[in-house]
Structure formats: structure tokens, C-alpha cells
Amino acid sequence: MNTIDGLKIVLEFYKELGFERLPLNYSGQQSVVSNQGVKRTEPFERIATVGGSSRSRSSNSHKEALLKALRDEIGDCQRCKLSKGRTHIVFGEGNANAKIMFIGEAPGREEDLQARPFVGDAGQLLTRLIERMGFKREDVYIANIVKCRPPMNRDPQDDEMSACFPFLDRQIDIISPDVIMSLGKISAYMLMGVKGPISKFSITKVRGRFYEYKGIPVMPTFHPAYLLRNTKDKWLTWEDAQAVLKKLRN
């Protein structure tokens, strides 16, 4: 077998795995090749292709189909009492192949009206955080512990979270992100599987350290709505975000 025939076999092998482009070393410098081409200057672009591989379009389409099937399964959900006061179910949105997933607590008024997560004032702050991290909203996936707005924006109750969390669990399985940022006390409490009353759980004590959910690193941090009221703690959330970026690089 000559070199060209061997190269053809190798390329066909990678094609079968779903690779559209391959990482190459040239003149001693590593170039990361993504679906958008060669990127060398922006840290985010290097993070987005951790390990030197790209996620294939077919894989993304498959995940999108699975998410759509899950949304269809939820239907006009009446599984808990939150269904009685909602306008829309807020399923979640973003890149089905996202490497980072942001999980909040529950939809608010604007989210309930638009059927989209984090679109109010807190959502604008989250968007700025995402962009400062080097991403766009469409690069990540955003969801909540519950998918319907609690009355008067109260915290979700145990029975409501128990009814809704299995759907979020399946979203996480489908997307399979590299890292999750949990936003707020309730999100961290559920993803960390904490035992005991939530009233005794403190986001301040757990933020800034990685935990795991089904083998996925989870970084608990403050909810953007909290940061709107406590602007001095924004730098703590930025520290958490930097730790997430470092985790992605590694």
C-alpha cells in the first residue's frame, strides 16, 4: 500500500467518525480547525474546539431531533400546579451541541410571555456574561430547573421541581455539555443533589468550586437577578466564569 492509499483510508476513517476537518500541526505551530475554518487568535475559539476535534453537523441534527421529541413529549404539560397560571412553557434554547450549559431556576414574567429563557433584565445580564466569556447566546444552551413561571416569581416548590426536573435531566443527557454553570441557589441545590431543606442551603458557601452532575463538572454561581440587586458580587461570578473557561481549556 502506498502513502496516498494509506492516507485515503485514514481520511475515510475520520469521515465515518463525523469529522469534517482535522487538527493539523504546521511549522511547529498548532492550528485548531473548526467548522468555521482555522482560528488562532481568540481564546474562545480555541476553547470551542477543545481536544482539536469538531462536532459534526449530523450529530447536531440528531440532538436537535431528540430535543424536539422531548418537547413534543412534554406537550401542554399539566403535571404540576404551575400549569394553571403559566402563559407558555419555557423549554430552553441554544446550541444542541453546546459545550457549556447555563441552568437557572424558573422563568419570570418576560420569559413566560416570550416562551424563552432569560430574556428579561436578568437575561440581559446573563447575555453580557456569556459574551464576555467569548461566546454568543446561540453557542451555549440555556434552561431552567422548572419550565413554567411560579406565581409572583416565588421559588419553585418541591413537588413542582420533582415533576419537571426529569425533563431537564434528559436535556442534559442529550446536549452532554462539557461544563454546566448553575445560576442561583435552587439550580445548585438540585444539580448537586443536596439532602435536607433548601432553606439551609447557601449558594455563597458552594459557589466558586466545581461539583459534578452525572460526571459533568458543575460550577454554582449567583443568579443574574441577584446580581442586579447586588452589583458588588458581579466580580465573584466573573471569577466563577473564568474557572469554567479554564476547565474547558483543560
Per-residue pLDDT of the chain (250 residues; tens, 9 = 90+): 555 554 555 455 445 444 454 444 333 333 333 333 333 333 323 333 333 334 455 588 999 999 999 999 999 999 999 999 999 999 999 999 999 999 999 999 999 999 999 999 999 999 999 999 999 999 999 999 999 999 999 999 999 999 999 999 999 999 999 999 999 999 999 999 999 999 999 999 999 999 999 999 999 999 999 999 999 999 999 999 999 999 999 8
Q: Residue 74's closest CA among 143, 5, 140? A: 143
How far apart are the C-alpha atoms of 12 and 6, rounded to whole Å? Answer: 10
> In this structure, are residues 189 and 206 in contact, taking their beta carbons and an 8 Å threshold?
no
pTM of the predicted structure, to 2 decimals: 0.78
Contact assessment for residue 184 and residue 223, using Cβ atoms and an 8 Å cutoff: yes
For the chain, list the domains and their CATH numbers: 89-249 (3.40.470.10)
Beta strands in 78-232 (DSSP E): 93-94, 100-104, 141-144, 179-183, 211-213, 216-221
Cα angle vertex 13, ends 7, 18, to 5°? 125
